[in-house]
């Protein structure tokens, strides 16, 4: 499986700026060619886009192969663009605007901030064609920042306990492991962009961390 390290304008927290599923990777408009080339590790179609007129794609959306969840202030043109890519679109209210921090999903399941009401969890699940399960990881409700999941594995906050790890295995239907990224950050979702074919990691990630993440994602 392919792996690349990169940064977005010098920022190693690349999960803030990109998001991927099995078929495509969403990248900021005007991203540096080096960052764009690193995305080739994912073996997916590269799509230049914005969400809510922002380059913070990873913060403002959650994505799997079936759909995308965006905040209420996403532009109509953006929602139409994503529908044109064959994705269902779900719009969350502004109180959960940092959608990518509040949802972590693969094609088998999703975990969401437990403060998201049940009727919105249902809408998320319908959009992504999975069950959306309320959860926290290592005391954090922003589960999308504390975990990343693909159809082959997941990597979670290094302080996620055994009970939480078992819950993640059940929801995502794959094995996983605790990990850190970018020289000790436990917020894996902010430092990694991945699908089942490959991954990008922040350029500050150590060799030990990258090996741990690759193993957690079922790529070694």
Residue 148's domain comprises 2-216
6 pLDDT band, cuts 50/70/90, is very high
User: What does the pLDDT read at residue 220?
Assistant: 75
- Mean pLDDT (the chain) is 98
Confidence of residue 191 (pLDDT cuts 50, 70, 90): very high
Q: Is the pTM of this model over 0.95?
A: yes
Binned at pLDDT 50, 70 and 90, residue 133 comes out as very high
What is the DSSP track for the chain?
Answer: -EEEEE-BTTBS-GGGT-EE-SSEEEEETT--HHHHHHGGGG-SEEEEE-BTTBS-HHHH-EE-SSEEEEETTS-HHHHHHHHHTT-EEEEE-GGG--HHHHEEE-SS-EEE-TTS-HHHHHHHHHHHTS-EEE--BTTBS-HHHHEEE-SS-EEEETT--HHHHHHHHHHHSS-EEEE-BTTTB--HHHHEEEETTEEEEETT--HHHHHHHHHHTT--
Overall number of domains in the chain? 1
Please report, for the domain that includes residue 25, its CATH number.
Answer: 3.75.10.10
Residue 215 pLDDT greater than 80, yes or no: yes
Say what the pLDDT of residue 144 is: 99
Q: How confident is the model at residue 1 (pLDDT cuts 50, 70, 90)?
A: low
Is pLDDT of 33 > 80?
yes
């Amino acid at each position: 499986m392919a792996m690349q390290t990169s940064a977005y304008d010098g920022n190693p927290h690349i999960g803030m700026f990109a998001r991927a599923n099995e078929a495509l990777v969403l990248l900021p408009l005007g991203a540096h060619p080096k960052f764009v080339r690193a995305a080739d590790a994912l073996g997916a179609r590269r799509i230049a886009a914005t969400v809510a007129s922002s380059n913070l794609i990873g913060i403002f959306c959650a994505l799997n192969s079936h759909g995308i969840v965006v905040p209420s202030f996403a532009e109509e043109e953006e929602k139409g663009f994503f529908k044109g890519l064959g994705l269902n679109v779900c719009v969350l209210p502004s109180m959960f605007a940092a959608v990518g921090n509040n949802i972590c999903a693969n094609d088998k399941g999703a975990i969401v901030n437990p403060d998201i009401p049940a009727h919105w969890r249902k809408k998320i699940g319908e959009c992504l064609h999975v069950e959306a399960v309320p959860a926290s990881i290592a005391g954090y409700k922003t589960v999308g920042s504390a975990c990343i999941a693909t159809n082959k594995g997941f990597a979670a906050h290094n302080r996620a306990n055994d009970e939480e790890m078992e819950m993640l295995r059940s929801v995502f239907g794959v094995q996983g492991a605790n990990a850190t990224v970018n020289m000790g950050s436990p917020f894996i979702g902010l430092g990694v962009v991945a699908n089942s074919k490959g991954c990008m990691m922040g350029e500050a990630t150590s060799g030990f961390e990258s090996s741990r993440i690759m193993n957690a994602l079922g790529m070694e």
